[in-house]
Amino acid sequence: MIRRFIEKSVEKIFAACGMITTITILLIIIFLFKEGFGLFNSPEVEKGYALCVNAANPIDYISSPDVKKIYNSVITNWSELTEYDEKIVLFRDDNKDIFDFYKEEELGDSFEEIEANIPKKVLELIANTPGMLAFVHEENLQKNIEGVKVLDKGMVNPNDFFFGREWIPTSTPAPQFGILPLILGTLWVSLVAILIATPLGIGVAIYLSELAQSKVRDILKPAIELLAGIPSVVYGFFGLVVLVPMVQKTLGLPVGETAFTASVILAIMALPTIITVAEDAIRSAPRSMREASLALGATHWQTIYKVVIPYAASGISAAVVLGIGRAIGETMVALMVTGNAAVIPTTLFAPVRTIPATIAAELGEAPGGGVHYQALFVLGCVLFLITLVISITAELISKRQHNKGL
Amino acid sequence: MSKKLSQDIAFWTFRILGWLVVGILLWILGFIIYNGIGVINWEFISQGPRDGMLKGGIFPAILGTFCLIVGSMIIAFPLGVMSAIYTNEYVRDGKISRFIRMMTNNLGSIPSIIFGLFGMALFVRYLGWKGSILAGSFTLGLLVLPLVIRTTEEALRMVPDALRVGSYALGASKLQTIRYVILPTAFPNVITGLILSVGRVSGETAPILFTGAAYFLANLPSSIFDKFMALPYHLYVISTSGTNLDAARPIAYGTALVLITLVLIINFTASFIRKYFSKKHGAH
């Protein structure tokens, strides 16, 4: 009786442990989305700050990309944004720029007095300058100030986020959260990596499964296992001290940290995955098919590429897809050798920036719960979805291979 | 082109590719060993960094990595082994086991940086553990869980069914069979999986970036709620940030060598155990 009870309860415990991976995945999804969820309800302007204009200005809201254009002097007149013909006068930071507009004596006699006077003077300045756009501390804005209008805070726009071409998350007052260059950078680097790794990996897989003698296999197999076991940070370090200078010198580039450099390292890292999975697929080709082909007078090589490879095609594609997954998610190598420039890639031989590298480089500095922090979590969600699609694709493909085996 | 010639060309290409892989491995290992061996001495292994990270050793990083290994294994090993026992012994080929296997595969394919984000959100911020050995261990523990489960399952699958049936025939219950027959038989392979997981944990950087890894600590951690230094993170910061990268290079080579040596030892131990016990098993 007691024994049966124990048996039953132990089985329950085992069953609970069996659910642990499911629970972990659910927790990851919940927390990733929970932390990133607020992004599209967050004001773009940094917390505690506000954009103000003269009350005569009819404008109520300026989008973040427009604010950036104003600060970069691409837009210089209000008429480009609204019906208000006035030259834009910029006021950035109330404690430094103020001296461009007032002399020290005008502000006060002692340091303390100046400090105390600044908020008032800033507001006066806005009220007296028709074309002013000021970026000020929210605490300095008392309610209902004559002549000053506080602009509405825009929310981060999903369209700007997913299709924006600029990622400058820390610029004030108008951070740019466009993740398109990061997505393209990630795909670019992984795609090239897989183009390098696929022929190599399949070749080695064929060699291992069809040609190599068992003595050679005893050397090659552990070597491939070791290649898989080397920590990614060591690959990154190797890339940094060996490949980066090499690429820079042989190709005569200004910097050696390029998409190409990262792709080469990622290709090496994806090799073990591709080789192992592709070898299994090639091995699964039934003996009868090979023998039939040989009996018809085909050479060993003809048998391999006309019979064995077509048979193993879906297994080999699964191997390639898994390799892509490995390359897309890789963080340390991307962080150390891509050069981390958030631009839309146009060439192989220039720095790029990937999603994992962006998260790794910036999360430590992003204040918890802020817009930047949330943006990085949404970026994490995007990466998560990409890898999920890849792993499901690989699973479906390899299922096809299994069905063929029956 | 004759059939024979095209075959020769193809086969020679594959042969060269095969040895190219070995060449790449030897190149990486050789480069790090050649540059790092001169740095390694007793002081490097037993002392902390000095003079703005340019002198001294990496003992705190070794200790930190050791703590993470122990911590993450305490979490992942029991959970993973029990999960594998459940799927392989209780619900062998049903819908449930297929579902669990699918989830395990999916968890295994999630990039490590996502685990870093998750660890930061759940352990560091939500549960308020701050950056600590505890938070780092939990994050890494969940990261290697799929590996532990997969290797344990393989180990259990290699136990012949005759042993199970024989045990039942003698009147043993399911739990007794697992406890006295299956686990002892599968033990060497389970341990091999454990060792491979240790290798994975000791090299991971991305998950600990935000869950407590520190650039430099004046004191060794005194509890599981303290921040830690770790070998892979140390290699990363010392080779990419700092005021004098060139002067820090020797330390970086040394750290890389220690890390590589750790991984090599782990791999060789694992394959030794696997070979030793499979021979012993074969003799029966």
pLDDT, position A142: 67
Contacts of A233 in chain B (CB under 8 A): 203, 205, 232-233, 235-236, 259
Give A117 or B174, the one with higher predicted confidence.
B174
Residue B208 contacts A, CB cutoff 8 Å:
no
pLDDT, position A108: 75
| Dihedral of the alpha carbons of B180, B184, B186, B189, in degrees to the nearest 10 | 160
Res A37 pLDDT > 70: yes
Res B284 pLDDT > 60: no
Q: Tell me the average pLDDT across A347-369.
A: 91
Res B244 pLDDT > 50: yes
- The β-bridge partners of A177 are A167
Q: Give A196's contacts (C-beta < 8 A, 6+ positions apart).
A: A263, A264, A267
Out of B28, B111, B173, closest to residue A3 by CB: B173
* CA separation for the pair A368, A98 (Å, rounded): 31
What percentage of chain A has pLDDT greater than the value 70?
96
Residue A329 contacts B, CB cutoff 8 Å:
yes
Distance from CA of B50 to the nearest CA of A (A): 22
Res A365 pLDDT > 90: no
Q: Tell me the average pLDDT across A359-370.
A: 88
Q: Tell me the average pLDDT across A384-398.
A: 89
Tokens read off for A304: 């391999």
> What phi and psi values does residue A217 have, to the nearest 5 degrees?
-60, -40
pLDDT, position A132: 83
Tokens read off for A32: 């990733």
Q: Tell me the average pLDDT across A190-204.
A: 95
Task: Compute chain B's Rg from CA coordinates.
Answer: 23
Contacts of B29 in chain A (CB under 8 A): 226
Give B86 or A123, the one with higher predicted confidence.
B86
Q: Tell me the average pLDDT across B252-258.
A: 95
Give pLDDT tens digits for B194-219: 999 999 999 999 999 999 898 888 88
Q: Tell me the average pLDDT across B45-68.
A: 88
Res B265 pLDDT > 60: yes
pLDDT, position A207: 95
Res A406 pLDDT > 50: no
Q: How would CATH label the architecture of B56-283?
A: Orthogonal Bundle (1.10)
* CA separation for the pair A332, B44 (Å, rounded): 25
CA dihedral (B230, B231, B233, B239) positive or negative: positive
Mapped onto helix, strand or coil, the DSSP state of residue A89 is: strand
Q: How many CB atoms lie within 10 A of CB B2?
A: 8
Q: How many CB atoms lie within 10 A of CB A188?
A: 22
CB contact under 8 A, B113 and A212: no
What percentage of chain A has pLDDT greater than the value 90?
48
* CA separation for the pair B154, A22 (Å, rounded): 20
Res A20 pLDDT > 70: yes
Q: Give A385's contacts (C-beta < 8 A, 6+ positions apart).
A: none
* CA separation for the pair B31, A225 (Å, rounded): 19
Q: Containing H/E element for B258?
A: helix B245-283
Chain centroid to CA B196? 5
pLDDT, position B282: 52
Q: Which positions 176-205 of A are in contact with B (Cβ < 8 Å)?
A: 200, 203-204
The per-residue DSSP string of A273-319 comes to HHHHHHHHHHHTS-HHHHHHHHHTT--HHHHIIIIIHHHHHHHHHHH
Please report which confidence band the pLDDT of residue A56 belongs to, taking 50, 70 and 90 as the band edges. Answer: confident
Res A143 pLDDT > 80: no
Which region among A37-46, B94-103, B138-147 has the lowest average model confidence (pLDDT)? A37-46
pLDDT, position A96: 66
Give pLDDT tens digits for B188-199: 899 999 999 999
> What phi and psi values does residue A52 have, to the nearest 5 degrees?
-125, 150
Residue B50 contacts A, CB cutoff 8 Å:
no
> What phi and psi values does residue A352 have, to the nearest 5 degrees?
-135, 180
Which region among A202-216, A265-279, B270-284 has the lowest average model confidence (pLDDT)? B270-284
CA dihedral (A21, A26, A29, A33) positive or negative: negative
Res A232 pLDDT > 80: yes
- The β-bridge partners of A339 are A352
Buried b (16+ CB within 10 A) or exposed e, B185-199: bbebbbbbbbbbbbb
Q: How many CB atoms lie within 10 A of CB A29?
A: 14
- The β-bridge partners of B56 are B49
CB contact under 8 A, B173 and A32: no
With beta carbons less than 8 A apart as the criterion, state whether B132 and B227 touch.
Answer: yes
Return the domain boundaries, chain B.
Answer: 56-283
Please report which confidence band the pLDDT of residue A402 belongs to, taking 50, 70 and 90 as the band edges. Answer: low
pLDDT, position B283: 44
* CA separation for the pair A389, A383 (Å, rounded): 10
pLDDT, position A350: 92
pLDDT, position A368: 82
pLDDT, position B1: 63
* CA separation for the pair A250, A243 (Å, rounded): 10
Give pLDDT tens digits for A309-350: 999 998 899 999 999 999 999 999 999 999 888 888 888 899
> Which ranges in A97-213 belong to alpha helices (H)?
98-101, 104-107, 111-128, 158-163, 180-206
Asked, as a colleague might, if the bond just before A173 is cis with ω within 30 of 0, I would say yes
Q: Mean pLDDT in chain B?
A: 91
pLDDT, position A117: 76
Res A9 pLDDT > 70: yes
Q: How many CB atoms lie within 10 A of CB B233?
A: 26
Give pLDDT tens digits for B10-22: 999 999 999 999 9
Q: Containing H/E element for A177?
A: strand A176-177
Does domain A180-405 fall under CATH 1.10.3720.10? My reply is: yes
Res A44 pLDDT > 60: yes
- The β-bridge partners of A90 are A133
- The β-bridge partners of B282 are none
Give pLDDT tens digits for B158-170: 999 999 999 999 9
Q: Tell me the average pLDDT across B46-66.
A: 88
Residue of B nearest to A336 (CA): B240
Q: Tell me the average pLDDT across B49-57.
A: 81
pLDDT, position B17: 94
Note the CATH number of domain A49-154.
3.40.190.10
Buried b (16+ CB within 10 A) or exposed e, B138-175: bbbbbbbbbbbbbbbbbbbeebeeeebeebeeeebebb
Give whole-number Cα distances, B67 to A356, B88, B134, B138, B209, in Å. 26, 31, 9, 12, 16
Distance from CA of A246 to the nearest CA of B (A): 14
pLDDT, position A105: 73
What percentage of chain B has pLDDT greater than the value 90?
70
Tokens read off for A365: 């500095």
pLDDT, position A100: 74
Give B140 or A128, the one with higher predicted confidence.
B140
The interaxial angle of helices A214-229 and B3-36, nearest 10 deg, is: 50
> What phi and psi values does residue A13 have, to the nearest 5 degrees?
-65, -45
Give whole-number Cα distances, B161 to A16, A300, B80, B152, B167, in Å. 25, 38, 22, 16, 10
Out of B14, B112, B235, closest to residue A207 by CB: B14
